[in-house]
Structure 1
Amino acid sequence: MTTKQIIFTGGGTAGHVMVNLAIIPAFLKDGWTVDYIGSKDGIEKDLMEPLEGVTYHPISTGKLRRYFSKENFKDPFKVLKGTWQAHRIIGKKKPAVIFSKGGFVSVPVLVAARMKGVPAVIHESDFTPGLANKLAIPFAKKVLATFPETVKYLPEQKAEWIGAVVREELFTGNREKGFAMTAFTSQKNVLLIMGGSAGSQKINQAVREGLEDLLNQFQVIHICGKDNIDETYAQEGYVQYEYVQDELKDLLAITDLVCSRAGANAIFEFLALNKPMLLIPLSRQASRGDQIVNAQSFEKQGYAKVLEEENLSTESLVASLLELKKDKFEIKDKMNQYRSSEAKQKVIEIIKKQAN
């Protein structure tokens, strides 16, 4: 029997890779040959390289900007080069199907897939499709949505709501390991703060300026982004990490409350794990506003409190976190009503159906 081949793509942020990380092991287990097309130096390369059984192929990518930049003139040529490279990889690997998680690296891959006649499936995590997915959708056979409301923004004949795909290993966290890593105790609430895979200077600054007040109420795990650790703040009850991958499950096992950006993959993971959250979505000045809509949806359903970035200060952060602590049991009651659908299995079935 010939081994089935699949290519995954997606990158730019950790959110564009997490669903791939959740699904890839199932294909490896079923004996598929798995390849990944990503950028030369994106976070997807760092996240994929430790994964055994996956061959990583870097291609040229152009960033899709909504603002004026001199780089905008070079980017079409980078995308063309990336399309040619992806076309060559697809021709050599002959995959039965391609699965894309979005991000600008996926656009040349989806264009090349269409040129090669390979069916592609896209997954859209956010409430409304991102620019990369909007450009890639015409080249895909199926587009899967996390939010039920997203379907109305997608071509009717391609769209399907499947819910959130959550990494199973997040449910296997070990509290003893989490407490050993942090030197925390079970006597005081643990607050996990993360500003997205790249970190957020604004959140980091507000946290550190309000640390004295926060440490009166919480033990604080601060995932602050690459090169953002500041040892001058080192003290009992406060630990800093640039980025956490394998040990995240153990840290989440001891976490009572979360303060986070509002990327769809992350917030659905916190929901599945029953972690009340304060969401600080990226502002419209820094993004297309997708995180704001994600956060509003969660706030409306009673899963989260929201602090707009424009209103973020040391005082507003501390006050919002104290309010979150006060209402955590009420929020957990709402979260208990949410049942994580069998989204992961549905995605795998849809991919395999397209492959056939």
Structure 2
Amino acid sequence: MRILIVTSGTGGHFYPALCVAELFKKLHPESKISFWSQGTLLKNTKLEGIEKKEIPSYPFVGMTKIVQFLSIIKTIFLSLKLIPEMIKFKPDCLISFGGHTSVAPCISAYMLGIPILSHEQNYKLGLTNYLVSRFAKFIMTSFPEADPKLPESKVIFTGLPVRENIGEVKIEEAEKRLGFKKLERTILCFGGSQGSEAINKTVWALLPMLDEKYLVIHITGEQFVPQIRDLKCQYVNFKYFKEMSLLYALSDLVISRSGASTVFEIIKTGKRAILIPYPGAKSHQKYNALYLEKLGLGKVIFQNALSENLLYNMIREIFELNNKSINVNYDELLKLQKIDATKNIVDLVEKIIERKMIIS
């Protein structure tokens, strides 16, 4: 088998794609897998037995009309440029995990008659995945409820691949490897793979309000961390942290953005969450957050209402009422936790390739 996987370089697209690539290689060691993406994650990720290629990305969402026009022209030219490389690799199937980076390879594959599978991470369909869905044989969805914009005949619910060790690490192992102990109320705060200035500033203002029962683990991104005086709580910060499974193991509450990967990591671990959706990106994160709130694991604060006082009151409510104020839909939660999205995607691709080989 020859599998081509294409994805944006941001964590929400990149890590689910990586899960699928690694499982394919594990189940089919003889297979040829090429992983096309861009950015820091691609450069810093070691792929055993998997070829990787960096390709450019031309964003057109949220841009001026002139920039959008130029991006479309560049994307078309890139798709023509990629055709010889695609012919050389001869993929049996292309799996797209979205983002601007995926558009040109999908156009190339469509022109060559290569089957395309697209995965939509978010609750609401993004523009690039909407474009890719025109070419795709099937559209795989993270959430049980598919966006009505998608043609029903193409939609297959697979779930969203989550890194295998998320939710599997014991507290004792996490404490040993991290070098500090979990406290009675441990909060994990982060703003996605790029960090969030709005969340960071609110968390720093919140810290003096927390007592000695609290441990705050904070992933800040590249922002400068100010010196905060008179803290009663314990505070640990990282610019970036790769092994999120360790931090989830210690946490009782997650405060974060609501990218699809984060939402499904929260679902898998069963942690309570306060979600602050990123206000851009066509409100994708808003709908992801509202889904988690409907499930009963999350509470939503929109960024224009965010303040340290509101966040503090919400934290107190969750801890001091012992979660009684949140009604969790355990039946739906358990169904989602049992889904092996990575295996679902691999199984679907295997069936498509086998059928193609039989027909040909």
Q: What's the TM-score, normalizing by structure 2?
A: 0.89
In 1, the alpha carbon distance for the partners of 2:329 and 2:78 equals 42
Q: Identify if the C-alpha distance between structure 1 residues 331 and 301 changes in structure 2 by more than 3 Å, giving closer, same or farther.
A: farther
Query: In structure 2, what is the equivalent of residue 240 of structure 1?
Result: 237
In 2, the alpha carbon distance for the partners of 1:46 and 1:332 equals 41
Q: Identify if the C-alpha distance between structure 1 residues 151 and 205 changes in structure 2 by more than 3 Å, giving closer, same or farther.
A: closer
Asked if 1:145 corresponds to 2:144, the answer is: no
C-alpha offsets along residues 263-305 of structure 1, whole Å, 9 cap, x if unaligned?
Answer: 112111111111110000112xx22011111111211221111
Per-residue deviation, 1:336 = 4.5
Q: Identify if the C-alpha distance between structure 1 residues 326 and 116 changes in structure 2 by more than 3 Å, giving closer, same or farther.
A: farther
Query: In structure 2, what is the equivalent of residue 27 of structure 1?
Result: 24
Alignment RMSD: 2.3
Query: In structure 2, what is the equivalent of residue 321 of structure 1?
Result: 315
Which runs of structure 1 show a deviation greater than 6 angstroms over 4 or more consecutive aligned residues? Answer: none
8 Å CA contact 2:58, 2:71 repeated in 1: yes
Per-residue deviation, 1:66 = 2.7
In 1, the alpha carbon distance for the partners of 2:62 and 2:185 equals 41
Query: In structure 2, what is the equivalent of residue 299 of structure 1?
Result: 293
In 2, the alpha carbon distance for the partners of 1:335 and 1:156 equals 26
In 1, the alpha carbon distance for the partners of 2:125 and 2:203 equals 31
Per-residue deviation, 1:77 = 3.5
Equivalent position SS for 1:324: helix
Equivalent position SS for 1:288: helix
In 1, the alpha carbon distance for the partners of 2:186 and 2:122 equals 28
Q: Identify if the C-alpha distance between structure 1 residues 46 and 329 changes in structure 2 by more than 3 Å, giving closer, same or farther.
A: farther
In 2, the alpha carbon distance for the partners of 1:332 and 1:306 equals 12
Equivalent position SS for 2:153: coil
Higher mean displacement: 131-140 or 74-83? 74-83
In 2, the alpha carbon distance for the partners of 1:83 and 1:214 equals 53
Letter in 1 for 2:157: W
Query: In structure 2, what is the equivalent of residue 169 of structure 1?
Result: 165
Q: Identify if the C-alpha distance between structure 1 residues 138 and 328 changes in structure 2 by more than 3 Å, giving closer, same or farther.
A: farther
Per-residue deviation, 1:11 = 1.1
Higher mean displacement: 178-187 or 343-352? 178-187
In 1, the alpha carbon distance for the partners of 2:315 and 2:136 equals 42
Structure 2 alignment gaps of length 5 or more: 355-360
In 2, the alpha carbon distance for the partners of 1:8 and 1:14 equals 15
Letter in 2 for 1:342: D
Letter in 2 for 1:148: P
Query: In structure 1, what is the equivalent of residue 116 of structure 2?
Result: 120
8 Å CA contact 2:166, 2:268 repeated in 1: no
Per-residue deviation, 1:231 = 5.8
In 1, the alpha carbon distance for the partners of 2:325 and 2:75 equals 44
Percentage of identical aligned residues: 28
In 1, the alpha carbon distance for the partners of 2:124 and 2:293 equals 17
In 2, the alpha carbon distance for the partners of 1:25 and 1:328 equals 39
Q: Identify if the C-alpha distance between structure 1 residues 112 and 327 changes in structure 2 by more than 3 Å, giving closer, same or farther.
A: farther
Q: Identify if the C-alpha distance between structure 1 residues 326 and 181 changes in structure 2 by more than 3 Å, giving closer, same or farther.
A: same
Q: Identify if the C-alpha distance between structure 1 residues 185 and 138 changes in structure 2 by more than 3 Å, giving closer, same or farther.
A: same
In 1, the alpha carbon distance for the partners of 2:326 and 2:259 equals 20
Q: Identify if the C-alpha distance between structure 1 residues 38 and 187 changes in structure 2 by more than 3 Å, giving closer, same or farther.
A: closer
Structure 1 alignment gaps of length 5 or more: none
Query: In structure 2, what is the equivalent of residue 220 of structure 1?
Result: 216
Query: In structure 1, what is the equivalent of residue 55 of structure 2?
Result: 59
In 1, the alpha carbon distance for the partners of 2:85 and 2:239 equals 33
In 2, the alpha carbon distance for the partners of 1:138 and 1:344 equals 23
8 Å CA contact 1:151, 1:161 repeated in 2: no
C-alpha offsets along residues 10-63 of structure 1, whole Å, 9 cap, x if unaligned?
Answer: 114200112112222221111221111113xx244145x322222111122200
In 2, the alpha carbon distance for the partners of 1:100 and 1:73 equals 23
Q: What's the TM-score, normalizing by structure 1?
A: 0.90
Per-residue deviation, 1:255 = 1.1
8 Å CA contact 1:278, 1:324 repeated in 2: no
Equivalent position SS for 1:208: helix
In 2, the alpha carbon distance for the partners of 1:325 and 1:204 equals 21
Equivalent position SS for 1:193: strand
Query: In structure 1, what is the equivalent of residue 351 of structure 2?
Result: 353
8 Å CA contact 2:23, 2:342 repeated in 1: no
Query: In structure 2, what is the equivalent of residue 201 of structure 1?
Result: 197
8 Å CA contact 1:182, 1:239 repeated in 2: no
Equivalent position SS for 1:148: coil
Letter in 2 for 1:228: Q
C-alpha offsets along residues 84-124 of structure 1, whole Å, 9 cap, x if unaligned?
Answer: 34323211111111111111100111111101111111111
Aligned with 1:267 (options 260, 263, 266): 263
Asked if 1:109 corresponds to 2:108, the answer is: no
* Count of residue pairs brought into register by the alignment: 346
Higher mean displacement: 259-268 or 164-173? 164-173
Query: In structure 1, what is the equivalent of residue 357 of structure 2?
Result: none
8 Å CA contact 2:6, 2:96 repeated in 1: yes
